Every structure is written in structure tokens, then in C-alpha cells.
Chains A and B, each alone.
Chain A
């Protein structure tokens, strides 16, 4: 099925360059005019609350509710931070929004900043997004010149400044409190919560952190209204469009903006053109590397927050990775575990020590040095990490192992017993490498 594009509308318009002129030509920056005129900040918060917009960064927290947590004392300085650190393996939707339609994001940020009363906002952009940073710098300059940003924007009484802050290549800085530490110039280490950023955020001040895609939705909600927004997607809990980054063994990997609630099957087979070489699907990660693997029996699950949660995974960052029947699940889990073991910030002991412990065991198993008792041990280590860490990274890193062990335990056992892969191009090959 073809769907009306919303966030992708401009960037899929032929000839659209993302410049201010192009954006304005497409009707850009009307939402802030409207909001400044028609809504007091609290009304705007209320509007977003009623829209049911949920965060697109990972946790899916309702945006309006998050904003409403800020203390009401008008004397307090507040900050808005846009999380553009997008580093989740398999997720690349924010990058496209930034590079191809930066003003949509900036307009969204202006709306959010206006609603929460932030005079200063930051965009924390992943260090590797060099081009994205250039695009944003240019767009910010344009918006400043045009009076959308700066003192008394659009001759209203509102001041909003946006600064771009580039990361230095740590995945953990996408975690919202590590992001704040990093902006403050410190090591990017997550903070314990509570206190939540809404109370004690950037420089100790009330702060809202929202994802690029979340913020990019705002101009459309303001322009087209709550009724429209709640009529698309999978209302009442998952309204709106969602951009899924589809990768892996599909014919047309890429970003697809679709209404929330279409099935995985539709996303993979219709949008992304089906599986490479017409092979069977073995596993799907539905929401970025941090989400548990699903089997092909979940293909008819609806891609909305609740439905995915019901089958034991999460919609997360919207990164959908498809693995065909020839994929070795042990090596897939190891691959992700290597990523997590490399990216753990090391602040808390379960994650710091557990990630390398897991990786070493997984390597052993993968390389044919596993022992049967390793499998229970893997589960035990995972359980000692899950729910016991400072940040959600701990829960994320155990998802691949736990879910592959749950669905494909026999592959692990085969590795251990036969010292061979059960499937794939290495299927049947002896795996003993190195000594253990």
C-alpha cells in the first residue's frame, strides 16, 4: 500500500533541497506562526498531550506528558535538547531527516522550546554525522537570519536560540542523561534517575530531551490538528506515522514512513521489497539492536508500541533488521554483543563487567569452545544485568542473547556439541579457532 507521506513529504518532493526557501515554499514555518498566535505555551503542551505523540527515540514515552513534568515555576531556566545521536545499529532515520529536511526539525524544536519555555536549545548530533552537522549549521544560520530564531522570534516576545553540539563517537551519549553530561563538557556517563531531567537536567535545570523524529512531527500536529493526527497510525496508543529503517536481507533497504500499526509482513514484503533471493525469514529485530529478536511467526504482528511489546520485543528506535534462513543466530547475537561490549560506558559494574564476560563466552561458543553449562550461565549473567544497571543500556545489551537463546537454543547447542554452525554459508564448517 502507498501512504500519504508526512515527515518525508518534503524530502520526497523532487528538487527539494532542504533550504529555507524550499521549506517555506512547502508551507514551512507556518506552524510556529500559528502556535505563537493561537496557543499559550500551556495550551501547546495540552495539544501535544491530546495528540498522543510518543517518543521516537526508543522508549516511546508520550511527549506532551514529558513536557508537563517540568516544574511550573516560570523563574526557572529550562532547556530543550534534541537527541540526534542516532547510533543504534540498524537505525538511520534521523540522519535522513537531518540531512534532507533540517528546517522541519528546527521548526519542531522551536515549537517544543516555546511550549516548555526554553530560551536555549541544543541539538546533540552524533560525531560521525559530519555532513548532517554542516547541513544543520547552515539551516540554523538561515533560520537565525530569517528571524525564526534569536531574540524575539517573529517579532513575538519569545527568545529561542539553538546550538549545535557534536558528539565524539560514543553510543552511550544517545542515552539522555549521558547526553546532558556530554553537553556539559564531562565524560558522557549516564546519571542515576531519579532525579529525572525534567527536574534536574542540563546544568541542573529542568530539561526536555526529545528525538529528532519526535520533534519533526510537531509542525504537522500544529498545522493539521489533533483530530488528524489521532486518525492515522494505530490510535489510541500509537497514533501517527513512523519511519522504519529497514535493513538486512531485504531487497530494498531504506527508510520507510508508514502509519504505525502496519504489519511486519507488509513492511518487509511490500515496502522493502521482500527478502533477498526470496529466502525465508528467520529472524527480525523490530526496533534497533536493543530490541529482542522475533521469529518469522511474528510477521503478522502490528508495528505499534503495544503489539510489539506483547510479543516480547519493542518498537524502540524503529530499526528493523531482517535475517534470512541462512543466518547463524549465535554469530548474530555475538555480533551485537561485540557492539555492546565495545560501547558500554563502564560506569556500572553489571554492565561493564557483564558485557565482556558475555562476549567472551559467546566468542567461545561461536568458535567451538563452548560448554553446555555455558547456556544457563549466559542466562544467569544476563539476568544479573537486566534491571540492575544505571541506564537502559543494560537491558538492551542482553536482549540479543536472551531472545536468540529463547528461540534458537538448538543452534547454540549444535555449536557446542558439533563445534559447527548449523546453518548459513559456514554451515557444517568446523569452527575451532584459537585456543580456549
Chain B
């Protein structure tokens, strides 16, 4: 409270009069916004709150006393005592005049234009009745193919440049430009044949008219025929708010939008994304109505494991599951079950899932896809600050004076947080980027390009880079006031002082001076956030690295300070939710510890039943136990370990060894193919619930359409099996589950912000102090070690560092079912530096053979040349299993967090002759 008050005091205000009414607004406010505040509508086209004013359409002209000409209210800031007339005859005439000009060459094709019905040109034309006296020949642009996803109809363009400005200013993709001059201006792109860009859809959405359109639903609808549902994206953990525009009668999602406000797109979106989306959010919705969706349960013919999967009724399938589960439980007890869930499911489904596993099956063995890495950060963060949630918010990133991005190719992994970082950089924040990637120019944005300091370290050396920074801070005596005297910090200083600069240099490939300079900037900053992602969270020593980042922040007083802290990025939309719902063996819903008696007691009281004590098995342990026959049944809700883990992890064998496997999913996955029963689940568009984004914001998921015929929401399926098993977990609807969760744990209410609302939790600063006093030195020499082998192969010996990771256009396997995304990219490539491609004599699209340097097997894969990869490093997008590059990898289990580490490998590349 105190903070907002001081902010208010600081902003100067200005008084002005608009149409005879006085209004007081902050200095710098634009006249058009001041008018909006009074409810006075000034029409406009080119203005947009997200963009710098360009003042080109001239629709927003107003009269300002003492100024000779009419003024563009979208570009003129208010001044004290200003007197504005927004509706005089002169102003009205000017508006009509502008409309006349814009309509002069505009075709009368509203009846076939998808924008019709939500088009400001239409609306204003009615409202301000242009004269419409243009009797000359209309300009006709030749139709040209723009992109499979975006339709360009230049005859409708009003040259407002919103599209170009959005692409430049917000996305930093710079894929569009106006071409030609004057009367002949049109929108063009820099792609070779067709548009090549990030496909965020922003230009389509921001175009006020039907000049740029989404081609996926082209000619399919009139906007007023669609039902709008405000919900949360189901792809990544950025947690974007979007609207599903659907046709409930046919249970179809027709398109996605994300601008809010009125029909004329004046106010750009709500939500953590403020209306911005990425390709997955905007073009990736079609998995919902994919023809590949499962719509009938599948069971093994005649119940024989070697029989084929055949369609069955829900009754039959549920009965079979209940029967088998009951049988196994009766014979072998709860411990014989293993269960894995996908962190794409809603909190409600996850909550019911773990409750089902723990109470109905009586098993402690429940885990989820957070095991692929999120737990590394969650665990470290909980130790450091008492909560896995972020302390900084997205707004803190935007307002930071320094952002340190490390271990993530953020445009690809978490594009919307990427926009926040870009916004900070554009406002003048320092941007330190630790990344092996090189700057490169293309029409895909690249955070390294914006770095004010680029630490181009060796692939995989993130941990050592941060160790170097900790060392530099301590050497410079720059630890925050009062900290240096503490024995734990002294111990840390002693530990890092034993590491030589040489060691750090050779392990990171950076000069120690560069690391020191970065450390100095970090120390000097006052609002600073560390944004880190997949190459730390899912990598070797992930847990340790997050702790080291925590040490760095703690040392410099930036772990829990206002506007500062750690911001780990996650791939799946509800990883935070899965963790908080206790879909990990060691945590209960609400983050209580399973092995902590009072925590367990609290949940038991609510559930009125005992909870198996465990310790439960984690994902890889479960698979091993299944192979060894200790686990006899596996329940997989949305989780596909066979499709995700390398073959060497033995997931397929685990499924084959188990007596009974249930796969509950939207699609028949590699895992489903090995199951005994496959249950078709409803997607996020078909049910109510919540997702918790990586910050820890609990956000609503709303039903846009009824479940696709034949599918059911996960919680309902679970509840039905429970009933069949004689152990009812009955819920009327998703909302009842939400209430139960909120009763158990109030912080899981939708809209609940960060840690501040977590009752019963000590303030993060107290937790951090406890960490410093009690735990900082725990495992310190292990954490701060530099292995002699910590070197990455040079490409000269034919060995490459292979990294598997996210691609902007795909996420997991779900995106492969989205037609729109497949139109952008439907096959994988091995991305490679031009120098390496030249060395192998391979051109774009030609294939090379990829072999593991350690294990057997090889695959052939087509090459894409991308200068951002340094020589010696190649990248393969993890969503694609064909060719099976992932099966070249080996899995290494993180001792601390049981995360299966497998995203990188040493590989050999051979030219195919």
C-alpha cells in the first residue's frame, strides 16, 4: 500500500478541459486517452495503446484552443489548461473527410470479409456517415500469396502501419515492411517466397480492417455468430489469457483472439500477456478439433495383452479398469501402482488424480511431468525463499533496470516472457544474456541481439558461469551490507576462492574479465531479475545451478528484495499447478510435505482418510520398479513417457512388464499404444478449472464447448472409476473440485497473485535468512565444484554438442496435432552453424547422419542452417520423434531431484555419401 501511495504522489498531473468538462490526468497522457477517461469517444485507426503513436490516419483530429490547426489527439500529450474540442462541426467535418479518403479506394466487399462485424471502418462509417462521393477508378492491388496462415488482402488496407509497427516494436521480429510509395504503398515481408516470421498473429489481430486475416478459419464465420470464452492458454507456462471463439452447437473452436475491450480492438488484451500471443496460442488451437482426437475408449480385444486395441463402451472400459485396479490392489496393495500425470491438465484434474491415487488406489507413487525439470527449480526455490512461486512478477521484469537471462532461448521456450524482457531492454534496462548462441539477423527475434552484455559461454557451462559471478562478487567485496560477516558467506567465499580463474575460463570459454564485468553490473543494479530456463532447469545439476543463482541473488541482496529475484521458466502450462497440487511423491496439495506429520495430518483431516506415507517413487524409479515387477499397474493421465524419454530409459519395457496400464489422453500416444485401456479425455476447451502459470498465478480455464462427443473430463473419469471401485470420490462438477482445493489451500484461488497471499508461509525474506544461516553451506563443495571433464567437445574431431529443446512453433507432442502449427513447420531439422554445414558440404534440407558418441544407433536427419548456433553445436527440436533423435540420448538421473537429464549429448555427425 505504502508503495502505491508514494508512486501516486510522484506522478504529476495535469488539468485540461475537453468539450467543456474538466479532467485531471497524469502528465504525458495523450489527449485521446484523457478523452476516453471522460467517456468522450474520439474515433481512430492507427493509434494503439501498445504502439508508439504514428499519427498517420488522421481520424482522431480534434481542435485545441491556441493551436492553429486541428491536432491528432493520438499523438499530442495533454498540457495544463489545454482546452480541447472533440466534437465541433469542424472536427466532425474533418472526420468525415478522413473517412471519405479511407473509403475512396476501399472495396465494398464487407459481405465476404471476415472482419465484417468487428471492423472499425464499418462502425465509424455508419457513425460518422462519410460522403462516399468517390467516383474514380479504385486502386487494385494484385493478389499475392502471403502465407499459408495469414491472408493478405491489400485492397482493404488503410495503410495504418499497425501491423508493421507491432511486428517491430512489440515482437521485434521485423518481418513486415511497407513497400512502394504513396498511393501504391502495400505491406510486404522479407521472406524469400512467403512470410517467414514468428507467426504470433499480432499483425492479424491488430489490423483494424480485413487486410490481414487468419487463414485457418477464413470465410467460416461472422464474428457475431461465435461464442467467446475467456480462458488460459494450454501450451506454455507463460500463462497467456486468450479467448476461444467457438461454435458451441458443433463443438468447434473456430479461432483464438486476445484483444479485449470493445469490438473495434481499441484496448489490447488483459492477462499476463497483455494481449500478446505466440504462434502456439494464436494458431495452435486446432488440436481441440483434430480428427485424431480419441472419441471412444479402447481396450485390448478379449482382455488379452497381445490383442489389438479395439473400441469399447465407456461402461465396459471403466468396469475393466475398476476390476483390474481392484484385483491388483487386493493382491499386492497400493504400492503396486505407479501413476504419472501431465502438467498440461487443470489443477482440478491433477488434484483429483493424486487424491485418487493416494486414497482410492492407496499408492504413494504419484509423479508428473514436472519431474522433467521443474522440480529442480521448485525445490531450490522453496528452500531459498519458502515458496516455489516467483517473487518477481512479469511487471517486475518489464520495469527492471537489469535482466539477466541465462540458460534459455527465450523466444522459443517462453515467448511472452521474452516480450517482457524485450520491453525492459527497449526501455533501457541492461540485459545480460548468458547463452552459447550467437547474435543473428533474421525475421525471428533473438534475445541475444538485444543483449547489452553477451556472455557467449560454452554449451552446458551455465553453472560455471554463475559460479564465476558469485566468485567475482565475493572477490570484489560486493556482498550486500551485513552479509559478509556471516560464517556461511565466509565459507562460500573460501569455497569459491579455491576455484581458479583459469578453471572458470576454460570451463566456460569466457574471459574472467567478462564474467567480472557482468557481476559488477549485476551488483550495481537495483531492480534486477534472473530469468532462466530449460538449459538450467532440465539440465545436469539443475537443482544445484538454481541454488547457485539463488546464492548470487542472496549475496547481492536481490533474492527477496522488491522487484528482484529468480524467475525460472517452464515449458508446460501447469507445471506450477501440478507441483502445488501435490502430483509429486513428496508433496501434498498445498505444498505440505508428505513426510512432515502436521502437513499430512492437515490434509488427512480434510480428506477424512489416511494418506499412504511413502516415500513414493519418482518417475524413473517407477519405470524401473515396473520393469522389475514391483509395480504392476500404471495409470498415465496425459503423460507419455514412451514418447518423451529416450529409448534407453526403458519406458516401453516398463509398460510391457506391467500387468495393467491405463492411458487417459486426448490422443493415442506411443504410451497409449502399449496400454491395456485407453480412455479419451476432454481438452482444456471443454471444461472449467484453473491453470497456475510459472509465476504462480492461478488463472481460469473456462469451458468453451461441451466435451467432444465420447470424451470426458479427467476428474469425471477418475471419479467414475472410484465409484466403480467402491471408494467414491464424488463431485458434481469441476467447480466443486475447485472449491475443495480452495478450502484446503486458499492460495489456489483464481486470480491469487504471488506469494503474498500464501497464508501460513513465512515471508520470503525470513525464509531466505533461514536458508543463509542453516542451509547455504549444505553441499557447498559439491555445488561449487568444477569437474575437470567440464569441457565441451570441439567440432574439429567431428563431435558436436547436441541440444534438444523447444521450438517456438511446437510444444511437446500436442502441437503436432494442431494443423496451423504444422503448416508453419511440419518436420524437424538439425539446426547447424553455416561454418559446420560448409565443412560437411551439406546444404539446407540435405541430410546428415547423427550418431551418439557414447551409445549405439544412428539417424538420418535433414539440416537447417542457422547462424545463431555456434560451430560445434547442433540443435534438434524435442517435439519431433521422427527421426528418433531422442533415442540417441542417454538418461542421467539427478541425484538430488531425480530429474532424468537427457536433453543434451555428445554426437558424431557424418556426411551421407
Contact = CB atoms under 8 A, between A and B. Distances in A.
The answer to whether A and B come from one shared complex is yes
Interface of A: 170, 187, 192, 194, 341-350, 352-357, 360-361, 364, 377, 380, 383-384, 387-390
Contacts of B104: 353, 357
Given A348-B56, A349-B159, A377-B133, A388 B182 contact: no
B32 to A, nearest CB: 13
A353 B61 contact: no
A297 B53 CA distance: 46
A349 B94 contact: no
Given A346-B181, A348-B57, A357-B101, 10 more contacts: A187-B178, A192-B75, A346-B183, A346-B184, A353-B102, A353-B105, A355-B182, A384-B93, A388-B98, A390-B58
Contact of B57 (A194, A343, A349): A349
Contacts of B470: none
Contact of A349 (B76, B136, B139, B158): B158
Interface in B85-141: 93-94, 97-98, 100-102, 104-105, 131, 133-134, 136-137, 139
Nearest to B134: A357
19 contacts: A187-B178, A194-B76, A344-B182, A345-B181, A345-B182, A348-B56, A352-B183, A353-B102, A353-B105, A356-B139, A357-B134, A357-B136, A360-B136, A384-B97, A384-B100, A388-B61, A388-B70, A388-B94, A388-B98
Nearest to B139: A356
A350 B101 contact: yes
Contacts of A341: 182-183
B182 A192 contact: no
B134 A348 contact: no
B402 interface: no
Given A346-B181, A357-B134, A388 B55 contact: no
Contacts, number: 90
Contacts of A390: 55-56, 58
A349 B182 CA distance: 10
Contacts of B61: 388
A228 to B, nearest CB: 34
Contacts of B70: 387-388
Contacts of A355: 182-183
B705 interface: no
B54 to A, nearest CB: 8
Contacts of B136: 356-357, 360-361, 364
Interface in B135-165: 136-137, 139, 158-159
B102 A388 contact: no
Nearest to A363: B136
Interface residues of B, number: 36
A379 B72 CA distance: 23
Contacts of B59: 349
Q: Which of A170, A344, A352, A361 lies at the interface centre, i.e. has the most chain B CB atoms within 10 A of its CB?
A: A352
Contacts of B158: 349
Give 10 nearest A-B pairs by CB, closest first.
A384-B97, A353-B101, A360-B136, A192-B55, A346-B182, A344-B182, A346-B185, A356-B183, A387-B69, A349-B101
A194 B69 CA distance: 12
B97 A350 contact: yes
A55 to B, nearest CB: 18
Contact of B53 (A192, A348, A352, A387): A192
Q: Which of A170, A345, A356 lies at the interface centre, i.e. has the most chain B CB atoms within 10 A of its CB?
A: A356
A354 B182 contact: no
B97 A343 contact: no
B174 to A, nearest CB: 12
Contacts of B97: 350, 380, 383-384, 388
B125 to A, nearest CB: 14
A344 B69 CA distance: 20
A187 B179 CA distance: 10
Nearest to A191: B55
B334 to A, nearest CB: 68
A348 B185 CA distance: 11
Contacts of B75: 192
A393 B659 CA distance: 82
Interface of B: 53-59, 61, 69-70, 72, 75-76, 93-94, 97-98, 100-102, 104-105, 131, 133-134, 136-137, 139, 158-159, 178, 181-185
Nearest to B77: A194
B161 to A, nearest CB: 8
A370 to B, nearest CB: 11
B183 A349 contact: no
A170 B105 contact: no
Contacts of A354: 101
B842 to A, nearest CB: 35
Contacts of A360: 136-137
Nearest to A386: B69
A390 B93 CA distance: 18
A311 B183 CA distance: 33
A344 B183 contact: yes
A5 B780 CA distance: 86
Contacts of A356: 136, 139, 183
A350 B55 CA distance: 12
Nearest to B104: A353
A343 B75 CA distance: 25
A342 B182 contact: yes
A389 B58 contact: yes
A361 B104 CA distance: 13
Contacts of A345: 181-182
Contact of A352 (B76, B94, B159): B159
A422 B102 CA distance: 35
Nearest to B137: A360
Contacts of A350: 58, 97-98, 101
Contacts of A349: 56-59, 98, 101-102, 158-159
A383 B69 CA distance: 13
B72 A192 contact: yes
A343 B184 CA distance: 11
A388 B54 CA distance: 14
A71 to B, nearest CB: 17
A353 B131 CA distance: 15
B101 A347 contact: no
Nearest to A358: B136
Q: Which of B59, B98, B184 lies at the interface centre, i.e. has the most chain A CB atoms within 10 A of its CB?
A: B98
Contacts of B69: 387-388
Contacts of B184: 346
Contacts of A170: 181
A394 B134 CA distance: 19
A364 B94 CA distance: 26
Nearest to B177: A187
B800 to A, nearest CB: 38
Nearest to B94: A388
B749 to A, nearest CB: 46
Contacts of B159: 346-347, 349, 352
Contacts of A347: 56, 159
A377 B94 CA distance: 15
A352 B75 CA distance: 20
Q: Which of B97, B139, B184 lies at the interface centre, i.e. has the most chain A CB atoms within 10 A of its CB?
A: B97
A357 B131 CA distance: 14
Contacts of A380: 97, 131
Contacts of B137: 360
Contacts of A352: 101, 159, 182-183, 185
A361 B137 CA distance: 10
Nearest to A356: B183
A353 B69 CA distance: 20
Contact of A343 (B100, B101, B133, B182): B182
Nearest to A349: B101
B182 A348 contact: no
Contacts of A389: 58
A220 B139 CA distance: 52
B52 to A, nearest CB: 11
Nearest to B161: A347
A436 to B, nearest CB: 9
